Structures are given as structure tokens and as C-alpha cells.
């Protein structure tokens, strides 16, 4: 009953974990706002949600464009909708050596993963506070807990999300703002396929580790349970999550293992 009759805004809703979470929430008597840069994909997800008698609103958004984010927020807020939850799944990964990656690529990754997520949260937060509170969740990564080869800026954006949204939580406890951070490991989605390379092109192939990861549907179940419990961090994945604990308690072993990652 936690989600019943709540209005929930989901970014990255056209595919992967965002889509799986949207479909699961559509069975909970919710009202969903679905956002992504892929509008045709959103239409498909919205149609699937409607089969569960779920009210949906499609709001296309390009997180790399500040105006697009603000326009999307204005569209929602002008409809006088009470946003109970904002769950952000949209993002882009990376597959390139930092020494070979031009700065404009690093900036692009930050615009989407960090500044886009921050801009939308800032746009929604005042209304949430005005309405007596709400839940905000953002997607980090296992590499948001440690650096990792070929993910330098991607990892940095995820580290930055922890700092920002933990600060948001600390500043707004009295306003009943609950913040959760998703920390996925290996989930079988197209995130590696769509990852950006040093040339600004897409990686174009599924990583072996990604291909053997848990399904997006299983990830959605884990996230669903974590959100209901309002957990501050929600670990999503399989045995690879042990790397978080190795990094924390056995750093020398972590440094050894991370140095043995094979080149792309």
C-alpha cells in the first residue's frame, strides 16, 4: 500500500531498470510521469502501464540540456500535480581510458548523470516541501563507491551524486524529504551498449559482465522493496557487490584486483 495513489515521476523510463520499475509500479494503483529522451520508447511503456489501469503522463526530457530539464519541470508543475516521488534512472556510461578521453566527453557525462539529475531534483524539491514532503531517489553505481578502469568520469559522476543527495537528505529531514540512492552492480540492460567512447560514439556492444547480470525485472523487485522501506542505500545486483565491502575492509586486495582489469 506504500505507493497507492501516489504520483511518481520516473526518468530513464523507456528502457532498462527505469522501465522495469515503471511497469512494476503501474500495478500499485499509482499515477506515473514517464520521462526519457526516447519518446517512442516512452509511448510503449505508457501503453503497457495503462493495461494495469495506471494513469500515465509522458514528459520527454534531455538531461544534457538544462532548458529541457526546466521545461519538463515547468510542464509538470504547471499541471498542479502533487509529486510524491521522484525516481531518477536516466544516465550514460563510459568505456574509455581517461588519458585518451577529451574533456568535452567528460563534460557530457557530467551534464547527463550529475547536473541533469541535480537540476530536476532542485526543480521539484520546493513543491515537495510545500506539499509536506516526498521521496527522492537517484541512481548511482557500484563504481560510485570506488574508482574503476575505463569509467573515470562515469565513476566521478556517481561519486558526486552521493555527495549531493546525501547533503539534500541532511538539509531536508525536517521537511519530510526521504532520499534513497540506488547502487546497481551488474544488471542486464543496454547501459554498456550505449556507453560513450573517447570519440563520442557509442560502445555498441554488451559487456560480458553485464550480459551475465541480473535482469532488470529482478533489479526492479529489489528497488521496490528498498523504496518501501525507505532505505538510504539500495544495493542492486549479485556477487559483484562484494567489491564494495572489499574496497572498504580490504583496500589492498581491491587495488590489486582493479589493476588486473583487462583492456577494452
Catalytic positions:
154
Q: What separation in angstroms does the CA of 256 have from each of 156, 243, 250? A: 20, 12, 10
Q: How much is the CA Rg of the chain, to the nearest whole Å? A: 18
CA–CA gap between residue 103 and residue 100 (Å, rounded): 10
C-alpha cell, 256: 590489486
Q: What separation in angstroms does the CA of 158 have from each of 29, 205, 225? A: 32, 22, 22
Please check whether residue 22 is in contact with residue 13, taking contact to mean a CB–CB distance below 8 angstroms. Answer: yes
| Edge-first strand listing for the sheet containing 177-184 | 55-58, 31-35, 7-11, 85-88, 134-139, 177-184, 233-236
Tell me the HSE value of 86 on the side-chain side, using a 13 A CA sphere: 28
Q: Is 142 left (phi over 0), alpha (psi -120 to 50) or beta?
A: alpha
Q: How far is CA 145 from the centre of its chain?
A: 15
Residue showing cell 541512481: 139
Please check whether residue 30 is in contact with residue 11, taking contact to mean a CB–CB distance below 8 angstroms. Answer: no
Please check whether residue 34 is in contact with residue 42, taking contact to mean a CB–CB distance below 8 angstroms. Answer: yes
Q: How far is CA 35 from the centre of its chain?
A: 12
Amino acid at each position: 500500500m506504500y505507493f497507492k495513489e501516489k504520483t511518481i515521476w520516473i526518468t530513464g523510463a523507456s528502457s532498462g531498470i527505469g522501465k522495469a520499475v515503471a511497469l512494476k509500479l503501474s500495478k500499485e494503483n499509482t499515477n506515473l510521469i514517464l520521462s526519457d529522451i526516447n519518446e517512442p520508447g516512452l509511448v510503449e511503456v505508457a501503453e503497457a502501464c495503462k493495461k494495469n489501469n495506471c494513469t500515465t503522463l509522458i514528459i520527454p526530457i534531455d538531461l544534457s540540456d538544462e532548458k529541457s530539464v526546466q521545461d519538463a519541470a515547468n510542464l509538470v508543475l504547471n499541471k498542479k500535480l502533487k509529486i510524491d516521488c521522484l525516481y531518477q534512472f536516466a544516465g550514460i556510461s563510459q568505456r574509455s581510458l581517461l588519458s585518451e578521453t577529451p574533456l568535452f566527453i567528460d563534460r557530457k557525462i557530467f551534464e547527463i548523470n550529475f547536473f541533469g539529475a541535480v537540476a530536476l531534483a532542485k526543480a521539484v524539491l520546493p513543491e515537495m516541501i510545500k506539499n509536506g514532503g516526498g521521496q527522492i531517489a537517484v541512481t548511482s553505481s557500484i563504481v560510485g563507491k570506488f574508482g574503476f578502469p575505463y569509467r573515470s568520469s562515469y565513476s566521478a559522476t556517481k561519486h558526486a551524486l552521493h555527495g549531493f543527495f546525501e547533503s539534500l537528505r541532511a538539509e531536508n529531514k525536517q521537511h519530510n524529504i526521504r532520499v534513497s540512492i540506488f547502487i546497481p552492480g551488474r544488471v542486464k540492460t543496454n547501459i554498456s551498449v550505449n556507453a560513450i567512447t573517447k570519440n563520442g560514439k557509442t560502445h555498441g556492444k554488451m559487456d560480458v559482465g553485464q550480459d551475465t547480470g541480473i535482469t532488470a525485472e529482478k533489479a526492479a523487485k529489489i528497488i521496490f522493496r528498498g523504496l518501501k522501506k525507505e532505505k538510504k542505500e539500495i544495493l542492486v545486483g549479485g556477487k559483484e557487490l562484494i567489491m564494495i565491502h572489499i574496497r572498504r575492509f580490504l583496500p589492498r586486495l581491491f587495488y590489486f584486483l582493479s589493476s588486473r582489469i583487462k583492456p577494452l
